[in-house]
Amino acid sequence: MKYISLGLVIFLLACNNQAPEEKLPEPFGPTPNEQQLAWHDLEFYWFIHFGPNTFTDKEWGHGDEPADAFAPTALDCNQWARIAKQSGAKGIILTAKHHDGFCLWPSAFSTHTVRESKWKDGKGDVVKELADACKANGLLFGIYLSPWDRNHPEYGTPAYNDVYVNTMKEVVGNYGPLFEFWWDGANGEGPNGKKQQYDFKRFEETMRQIAPKTVVFSDIGPDIRWVGNEKGIAGTTNWNLLDTAGFTRGHGAPSSDTLNRGNVNGRNWIPSECDVSIRPGWFYHTEEDDKVKSGEALFDLYLKSVGRGSAFLLNVPPDRRGLIHEKDSAALIAFKQYRDESFSKDLLSGAKVKYTHEGKTIEKLLKADGLHLLPDVAGLLEATLSTQSINAIILKEDIALGQRVARFTIHLKNGDNTVRTIEGTTIGRKRILTFPATEVTGIELVIDEAKAPPVLSGLEAYHIAEALVEKE
């Protein structure tokens, strides 16, 4: 029988079986709000870049492309949503308007929209079709609305801030509720050669009024931050905390390193989101059909994003038909299969937990998300099991109480010998550690440094396919 024994006092909370004297500590430092906690649990969702660039082979359109450039021949948002669901994604964020200013809905505040195109005789609405498809397939829906607009004649003048606020109200009112709203920090010249002074304070206040339960992304939040790269990779040290005073979006944002790692004593709970495309480009390009990331490559990015306490936002651009390409779909389904197979059998599931509290010895079962362990700093958590080959360990903190662990060490034991030592820094919502397969009879976890008494909510061990162990 597998069991876990602790040589020092800890507390345990198991579902609805909490002893009267067992009490969780008070929250420490910044903590996530209700919307952020729900967002953390999503882990993986899609980005979709789609628009005139899909048909012009551009990445950043100039805003002078004719509306008729947008010409999908077989657009099917239900196909997008079905494949997203099959890939295990929890939602989709659509580029409702990119930098070229072309609106994928018939906006009342622009003359550069699907209404001006020949697609569906000007009566189409991609945003509505995808919002409906997400709802029908049990997915969440989000919107990217570029503040930069290279087409709108008011861009570069104070009046444009009114335009942007009105378009935010329009998409939230017509297509909400939205789980996430995405602001890009790009700010270039408009058709009049001027740059815009964005009134982000007003934009934020507007979003809080019209969509208080929607988390908002940008370089510096207010709810989610950029991870500092477009490779889909979070820092091996990744604090959910960030200082934003004195910083602005775009060129005035914190350094890429700071965004990647967060601030150890940051004043705001602003976790990172890892954005990356399944292809080299963000929009579809025929010449990239043979450059789609494989299922194994996507799994590696999952380990380096979700496995480091971040979220994984994967861009999957529809092709010129208006469909998810077959090669993208195949890679996504393989990615889902790898995740399912890798984490289907927790080798510590059902293990007995033995610990001493106020002179009493208590035993309970280790169940994922039903257990809280509160060891002292420098405390030892020892799991003893029959000989097993493992190459992956998952640790979790109860982030509702704050992010606390700053440094830990894992000793993999075989008998009395330590056969492998793994060192790490932050844990956060989920930390996935992979390593070459190792025969073990015990796992020791030492919390070497913490900002407050650590609150661990999960400890799991797996044997995954060796080809999927995290690449450097």
Which of these ranges, 65-74, 97-106, 350-359, 461-470, has the smallest mean pLDDT? 350-359
The answer, yes or no, to whether residue 362 has pLDDT greater than 80, is: no
342 within some domain:
no
pLDDT, residue 453, reads 81
103 within some domain:
yes
Same domain, 316 and 414: no
262 within some domain:
yes
Same domain, 320 and 366: no
Q: Please tell me whether residue 256 adopts helix, strand or coil conformation.
A: helix
Same domain, 314 and 376: no
Same domain, 376 and 278: no
The answer, yes or no, to whether residue 121 has pLDDT greater than 60, is: yes
Same domain, 309 and 354: no
Q: How many domains does the chain have?
A: 2
In 3D, which of 268, 170, 167, 182 has the Cα closest to residue 219?
182
CA distances from 361 to 28, 353, 384, 385 (A): 28, 10, 17, 20
Q: Please tell me whether residue 132 adopts helix, strand or coil conformation.
A: helix
pLDDT, residue 201, reads 96
Q: Which of 290, 324, 358 is the last residue of a domain?
A: 324
Same domain, 93 and 237: yes
333 within some domain:
no
344 within some domain:
no
CATH code at position 361: 2.60.120.260
pLDDT, residue 443, reads 85
Residue with tokens 């903190």: 397
Residue with tokens 């208080």: 212
Task: Compute φ and ψ for 417, nearest 5 degrees.
Answer: -95, 140
Same domain, 314 and 422: no
CB atoms within 10 A of CB 359: 6
HSE-up of residue 412 (Cα within 13 Å, Cβ side): 21
What is the distance between the alpha carbons of residues 144 and 74, in angstroms, rounded to a whole number? Answer: 23
CB atoms within 10 A of CB 331: 22
What is the distance between the alpha carbons of residues 377 and 407, in angstroms, rounded to a whole number? Answer: 10
pLDDT, residue 330, reads 98
Q: Please tell me whether residue 380 adopts helix, strand or coil conformation.
A: strand
Same domain, 410 and 439: yes
CATH code at position 138: 3.20.20.80
28 within some domain:
no
The answer, yes or no, to whether residue 354 has pLDDT greater than 90, is: no
Same domain, 129 and 252: yes
The answer, yes or no, to whether residue 367 has pLDDT greater than 80, is: no
Same domain, 194 and 269: yes
pLDDT, residue 368, reads 40
In 3D, which of 225, 182, 174 has the Cα closest to residue 207?
182
Q: Which helix (H) or strand (E) holds 381?
A: strand 380-397
| pLDDT per position as a tens digit, 129-177 | 999 999 999 999 999 999 999 999 999 999 999 999 999 999 999 999 9
Average pLDDT value for residue range 185-210 = 94
What is the distance between the alpha carbons of residues 7 and 82, in angstroms, rounded to a whole number? Answer: 50
Tokens of 153: 């004649």
pLDDT, residue 53, reads 98
What is the distance between the alpha carbons of residues 343 and 85, in angstroms, rounded to a whole number? Answer: 18
The answer, yes or no, to whether residue 348 has pLDDT greater than 50, is: yes
Same domain, 216 and 299: yes
426 within some domain:
yes
Residue 260: alpha-carbon gap to chain centroid = 13
pLDDT, residue 356, reads 37
What is the distance between the alpha carbons of residues 238 and 261, in angstroms, rounded to a whole number? Answer: 4
Task: Compute φ and ψ for 427, nearest 5 degrees.
Answer: -115, -65
Amino acid at 351: A
Same domain, 188 and 287: yes
In 3D, which of 308, 351, 344 has the Cα closest to residue 12?
351
| pLDDT per position as a tens digit, 29-83 | 999 999 999 999 999 999 999 999 999 999 999 999 999 999 999 999 999 999 9
pLDDT, residue 137, reads 98
| pLDDT per position as a tens digit, 263-318 | 999 999 999 999 999 999 999 999 999 999 999 999 999 999 999 999 999 999 99
pLDDT, residue 188, reads 92
**Residues 6 or more apart in contact with residue 50 via CB below 8 angstroms:** 94, 95, 104, 126, 283, 284, 317, 318, 322
| Domain housing 379 | 3-21+350-468
**Percent with pLDDT over 90 in the chain:** 79
Count, residues in the chain: 472
| pLDDT per position as a tens digit, 387-416 | 889 999 999 999 999 999 999 999 999 988
Mean pLDDT of the chain: 89
Q: What is the DSSP letter of 471?
A: P
Q: Which helix (H) or strand (E) holds 30?
A: none
Asked if residues 319 and 79 have their Cβ atoms less than 8 Å apart, the reply is no
What is the distance between the alpha carbons of residues 49 and 93, in angstroms, rounded to a whole number? Answer: 9
Asked if residues 229 and 305 have their Cβ atoms less than 8 Å apart, the reply is no
- Predicted model pTM: 0.93
